[in-house]
Structure 1
Amino acid sequence: MTGVRGVRGASVEIPTADGVADAYLARPDDGVAHPAVLLYMDAFGLRPPLEKMADRLAAAGYTVLVPNVFYRHGRAPVTELPEFIDPARRPEIFQQLRPIMDSLTPEPAMRDAGAYLDWLAACPHAIGAPIGIAGYCMGARLALRTAGAYPERVAAVAGFHGGGLATDAPDSPHLVAERVTAELYFGHADQDPGMTAEQIGLLERTLVAAGVRHRGEVYAGALHGYTQVDTSSYDARADARHRAALLDLLGRALRPV
Structure 2
Amino acid sequence: MIIQQETVDITTSTGVMRTYVHRPQAEGKFPTIIFYSEIFQQTAPIARSAAIMAGHGFVVLVPEVFHELNPIGTVLGYDDAGKDKGNADKFAKPLPDHDSDTQAMIDFIDNAPYTTGDVGTMGVCIGGHLAFRAALNPAIKSACCLYATDLHSNTLPTSDTDQTLARAGDVKGELMMIWGRQDPHVPDQGRADINQALRSAGCTFTWHEVNGQHAFMRDEGERFDPELALSCYQMAVGLFRRTLG
User: Do Structure 1 and Structure 2 share a fold, with TM-score over 0.5?
Assistant: yes
C-alpha separation in 2, matches of 1:121 and 1:71: 22
1:159 aligns to 2:145 (yes or no): yes
C-alpha separation in 1, matches of 2:55 and 2:243: 17
* 159, 183, 189: which one aligns with 1:198: 189
Residue 168 of structure 1: CA displacement? 5.2
Corresponding residue number in structure 2 for 1:251: 241
Corresponding residue number in structure 2 for 1:77: 74
Give CA deviations for 1:97-116 in whole Å, capped at 9, x if unaligned: 22112112211111111111
Contact 2:165 2:194 (8 Å CA) reproduced: yes
What is the root-mean-square deviation in Å for CA atoms of aligned residues?
1.5
* 58, 65, 90: which one aligns with 2:61: 65
Secondary structure of 2:62's counterpart equals strand
1:136 aligns to 2:124 (yes or no): yes
Contact 1:225 1:231 (8 Å CA) reproduced: no
Corresponding residue number in structure 2 for 1:241: 231
Q: Percent identity?
A: 22
Secondary structure of 2:127's counterpart equals helix
Secondary structure of 2:135's counterpart equals helix
1:50 aligns to 2:46 (yes or no): yes
Give CA deviations for 1:146-203 in whole Å, capped at 9, x if unaligned: 111x12x011000112112223553442112111111001110111122111111111
One-letter code aligned to 1:180: V
C-alpha separation in 1, matches of 2:7 and 2:129: 24
C-alpha separation in 2, matches of 1:74 and 1:249: 34
Give CA deviations for 1:101-146 in whole Å, capped at 9, x if unaligned: 21122111111111111111111111123x1100110011111111
One-letter code aligned to 2:165: H
| Length-normalised TM-score, structure 1 | 0.88
Gaps of 5+ in 1: none
C-alpha separation in 2, matches of 1:70 and 1:168: 19
One-letter code aligned to 1:60: H
Contact 1:189 1:218 (8 Å CA) reproduced: yes
1:93 aligns to 2:82 (yes or no): yes
Contact 2:43 2:75 (8 Å CA) reproduced: no
Residue 30 of structure 1: CA displacement? 1.2
Give CA deviations for 1:196-225 in whole Å, capped at 9, x if unaligned: 1111111111111222110111111x1111
Contact 1:188 1:217 (8 Å CA) reproduced: yes
Residue 57 of structure 1: CA displacement? 1.0
One-letter code aligned to 2:153: T
Residue 237 of structure 1: CA displacement? 1.7
Secondary structure of 1:159's counterpart equals strand
